[in-house]
């Protein structure tokens, strides 16, 4: 009897984590610069160094390759300094591509440039969107459902458009802190049913929704969110995130993930890091 109770009281053993290989799209920061200000991180008066940006970006690309992912690259265009943030270029689910339509005119030309790449790359189900959406910056797939940010960039009407196009349930979440203007700056998907996020970046209602959907989520502290620790890429085992997010790195390790710290300080001057540089194709 006692032995039986003991067994019942044991926490369920954590299943071993395994990495899933992904196909990724990135854009070399050849023309990287901060020449305008569309988020609070950007200061056009502060000098940038395109050489350092290239080096840091290359290290991220090589890290993906060493972990068994495949990386394709889209040709950067002069005059589009934010094109390095490939996550914003589109949203891809099951091979279907929802084009991006940017909020700010400084980035609008990126939408058609990315959609062109998909058309030429043999993707056949493409949708040029009716409503403003900033791609996988605001759309994150968690298993067979999607989380969708709004509040700063993506129009909430886009959420219904995405749900209709992909045929997956889309849950809208409202961002309220301008430092965390895209969903992927405040929340990262870790596995088909796990996320980590920074609660203060969301409206009270959206926080309640996240608690309801992910009661066991990793909650980020302010200091980790402030170094863009949530702008992370996970393959189910390895989690690539800014190396300065030491608290999150420890929390991830406790949960059985393999956190890998990355240094992308130059790109942070534009308000982007690991996930922003990465568009998940599959
Ligand atoms: N400077 C860019 C912007 O404000 C940064 C985009 C970062 N991308 C992202 N997926 N969060 O639009």
Quick check: CB of 234 below 6 Å from ligand 1? no
Is the pLDDT at 30 greater than 60? The verdict is yes
Is the pLDDT at 1 greater than 80? The verdict is no
- Mean pLDDT across the chain: 96
Ligand 1 probe mutation, 105, 132, 137, 186, most atoms within 8 A of CB = 137
Top CATH class, 23-280: alpha beta
Is the pLDDT at 2 greater than 80? The verdict is no
The rounded Å distance from CA 8 to ligand 1 centre is 48
Quick check: CB of 184 below 6 Å from ligand 1? yes
Q: Whose CA is nearest to atom 7 of ligand 1?
A: 272
Enzyme catalytic residues: 182, 276
* β-bridge mates for residue 24, sequence order: 71, 280
The pLDDT, as a whole number, for residue 11 is: 64
The whole-angstrom separation of Cα 194 and Cα 7 is: 26
Is the pLDDT at 84 greater than 80? The verdict is yes
Full DSSP string of 67-85: TT-EEEEPPP-TT-TTTT-
- Counting residues of the chain whose pLDDT is more than 90, the rounded percentage is 94
Q: What is the pLDDT of residues 138-188, one digit of tens each?
A: 999 999 999 999 999 999 999 999 999 999 999 999 999 999 999 999 999
Quick check: CB of 118 below 6 Å from ligand 1? no
The rounded Å distance from CA 262 to ligand 1 centre is 18
**Mean pLDDT of the 191-211 span:** 99
The pLDDT, as a whole number, for residue 3 is: 47
| Ligand 1 atom closest to the CA of 85, numbered from 1 | 8
Quick check: CB of 269 below 6 Å from ligand 1? no
The rounded Å distance from CA 18 to ligand 1 centre is 30
**Mean pLDDT of the 104-113 span:** 98
Quick check: CB of 53 below 6 Å from ligand 1? no
Is the pLDDT at 15 greater than 90? The verdict is no
Q: Report the candidate in 254, 132, 268, 257 with the shortest Cα–Cα distance to residue 189.
A: 257
The pLDDT, as a whole number, for residue 7 is: 54
Is the pLDDT at 6 greater than 70? The verdict is no
**Mean pLDDT of the 51-58 span:** 98
**Mean pLDDT of the 271-279 span:** 98
**Mean pLDDT of the 205-234 span:** 98
| Ligand 1 atom closest to the CA of 134, numbered from 1 | 10
Instruction: Name the band, by pLDDT with cuts 50, 70 and 90, for residue 111.
Output: very high
Decide the pairing of beta strands 194-197 and 218-219.
Answer: parallel
The pLDDT, as a whole number, for residue 114 is: 98
The pLDDT, as a whole number, for residue 8 is: 58
Instruction: Name the band, by pLDDT with cuts 50, 70 and 90, for residue 22.
Output: very high
The rounded Å distance from CA 223 to ligand 1 centre is 20
Is the pLDDT at 128 greater than 60? The verdict is yes
- Counting residues of the chain whose pLDDT is more than 70, the rounded percentage is 95
The pLDDT, as a whole number, for residue 141 is: 98
């Amino acid at each position: 009897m006692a032995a039986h109770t003991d067994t019942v009281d044991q926490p369920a053993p954590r299943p071993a984590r395994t990495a899933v290989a992904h196909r990724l799209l990135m854009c070399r920061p050849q023309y990287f610069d901060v020449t305008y200000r569309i988020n609070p991180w950007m200061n056009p008066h502060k000098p940038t160094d395109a050489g350092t940006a290239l080096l840091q970006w290359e290290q991220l690309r090589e890290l993906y390759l060493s972990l068994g992912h495949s990386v394709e690259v889209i040709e950067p265009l002069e005059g589009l300094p934010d094109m390095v943030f490939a996550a914003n270029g589109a949203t891809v689910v099951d091979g279907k591509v929802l084009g991006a339509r940017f909020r700010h005119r400084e980035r609008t030309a990126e939408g058609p440039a990315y959609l062109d790449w998909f058309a030429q790359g043999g993707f056949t189900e493409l949708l040029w969107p009716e409503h403003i959406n900033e791609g996988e910056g605001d759309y994150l797939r968690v298993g067979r459902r999607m989380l969708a940010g709004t509040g700063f960039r993506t129009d909430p009407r886009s959420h219904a458009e995405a749900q209709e196009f992909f045929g997956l349930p889309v849950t809208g979440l409202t961002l309220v802190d301008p430092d965390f203007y895209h969903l992927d700056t405040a929340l990262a998907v870790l596995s088909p049913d796990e996320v980590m996020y920074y609660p203060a970046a969301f409206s009270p209602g959206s926080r309640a929704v996240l608690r309801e959907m992910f009661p066991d989520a990793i909650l980020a502290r302010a200091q980790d969110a402030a170094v863009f620790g949530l702008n992370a890429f996970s393959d189910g085992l390895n989690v690539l995130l800014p190396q300065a997010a030491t608290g999150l790195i420890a929390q991830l390790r406790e949960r059985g993930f393999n956190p890998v710290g990355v240094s992308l300080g130059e790109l942070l001057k534009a308000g982007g890091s690991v996930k922003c540089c990465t568009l998940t194709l599959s």
